[in-house]
A and B are shown apart, each in its own frame.
Chain A
């Protein structure tokens, strides 16, 4: 497979002016502005092949969205080279724009007061999609995303999940080869998140599209991405397999218990590290490879009402990476 996205030594710095809060702060800022350089992205290099799905992990403000914006051509880099589908993104050539799409879960491109189908018609004209291709794309997206019942409702009357499905459809009508997705499942309920993930997997399978996404939901990243990038303070600190990352960062899983009688920490500590106990509920951290054995033991020795085994939240893994500098080069 060909390399479709190639980034070498990408940097993006911003000058922002600092303002002290309050009226006098504003007054002071009028006369003497203090500027500060924010290093949003610094010396990032990677290559992505056609058809790959790659997830970006990193806390808020790490530079994930900035990288997506540079790749899609909205921002031009302070330094380094970016090539997507053989184009320099920030030239924003029409032939380039036809091959990519950017979906931002927190923003919308649909016309708010009209049914989504109106926005689709506009996009059809803007991307100069032929009637045949348009009908085929519409049919495919309507089937995959179950759009039928929502197409003719005004966008402002749609639920968040319905709207997100329409946003995806509007962003994919022109069958882009490269998808940049910034938090595509934010705010959606679990079922809807799963629906969006299935859709993305199916779209990737059918059209061989390359997908680069950021998400705060571990489930998204686990379901979609074999490969992940971890970004910290604008630097790429990990590029590789998701599984090895999780094992490397978090050798434990959590067992959450609900018992029929109150529990105390001392009794539980022989099973694993006790993270919390409050009467009938407890959480244990147990080494990955021992989780099923420990769960079986717990069932045997305590009268268990409910038990769940979970990976740590991505936020927790991320915060461990960053507070404990686990991936520092």
Chain B
């Protein structure tokens, strides 16, 4: 834990050093707003499924918050460390590098809360009809589901980064992964608007639990039963991703020490 705090502290200082850059990064997350604009014009003639215009606004503003709170980009750093060989230094320390990358991935989050908190209050004032449940229990569930989403996304990206032990360009896998994530998580289109069969399949895959699930929690669209099952599936995916990650890590290390650091 002390190691995590030290690593986090260093990354946090990087964030402070580059606070303007972080704000710009936050502003570049515009995909939900573009989707929102498109759906608003479609929904002008009447609701789409169970989504009317205000539901779309609630959905995509929530998606914007979730993306900011769970998005991470440390794979770029991993990639360069692997290719330039500075990963060797991490392997020579008595600490698993996962601690470093996790701290690095989390370090911008407090900064984002600091900006998104007030922004959300403004949103609630501007759109009095916003369907966000902001009672303490819903917020607690929302934050819990954000933590699960963050862990799944971290472990997915870290595992993809580790494929760099075998192929030099893990970033291209990451691009393919992002495409899948955008479609299957509800980031582009609410999962409720998919045909029921597809929707049911997507409910079992990990992607929903990185985006749509927290968004639906915040919007109060889920029954108690759906919430309990959702949290269970989410944390099963966290455990499965962790197991997969450790397996890939051990194999990758063996390969790294065989073919050259």
Contact = CB atoms under 8 A, between A and B. Distances in A.
Interface of A: 14-15, 69, 72-76, 90, 92, 94-95, 97-98, 100-102, 104, 107-109, 111, 113-114, 118-119, 121-128
A114 B14 contact: yes
Contacts of A74: 88, 91-92, 257, 261
B14 A127 contact: no
Contacts of A14: 259-260
A55 B9 CA distance: 38
B7 A125 contact: yes
Contacts of A113: 14, 17-18
Taking chain A's interface residues, is the majority helix, strand, or loop, or is none over half, making it mixed? mixed
B86 A108 contact: yes
Contacts of B92: 72-74, 92, 97, 100-102
Contacts of A125: 2-3, 5-7
B122 interface: no
Interface of B: 2-3, 5-7, 9-10, 13-14, 17-18, 84-86, 88-89, 91-95, 257-261
Contacts of B17: 113-114
B261 A107 contact: no
A323 B259 CA distance: 29
A99 to B, nearest CB: 10
Contact of A76 (B2, B5, B258): B258
A146 B131 CA distance: 61
B3 to A, nearest CB: 5
B261 A75 contact: yes
A90 B14 contact: no
A126 B94 CA distance: 7
B137 to A, nearest CB: 36
13 contacts: A14-B260, A69-B88, A74-B88, A75-B261, A76-B257, A98-B94, A107-B84, A107-B88, A114-B10, A114-B13, A118-B10, A121-B9, A122-B9
A75 B256 CA distance: 7
Contacts of B2: 125, 128
Contacts of A108: 86
A111 B260 contact: no
Nearest to A111: B10
A122 B94 contact: no
B14 A75 contact: no
Contact of A107 (B3, B7, B86, B95): B86
Contacts of A128: 2-3, 94
Contact of B6 (A73, A101, A107, A122): A122
Contacts of B258: 75-76
Given A114-B10, A126-B94, A69 B261 contact: yes
A92 B91 contact: yes
A92 to B, nearest CB: 7
A122 B2 CA distance: 10
B86 A75 contact: no
Contact of A122 (B10, B85, B259, B260): B10
Contact of B10 (A15, A75, A121): A121
A118 B261 CA distance: 26
Contacts of A111: 10, 14
Nearest to B86: A107
A307 B10 CA distance: 53
Task: Please list the 3 inter-chain residue pairs (A to B) with the smallest Cβ-Cβ separation, ordered nearest first.
Answer: A125-B6, A94-B94, A109-B89
Given A72-B92, A97-B92, A122-B7, 16 more contacts: A74-B92, A74-B257, A75-B261, A76-B257, A97-B94, A98-B94, A101-B92, A104-B85, A107-B88, A109-B89, A111-B14, A113-B18, A118-B10, A122-B10, A125-B6, A126-B93
Contacts of B259: 14-15
Contacts of A69: 88, 261
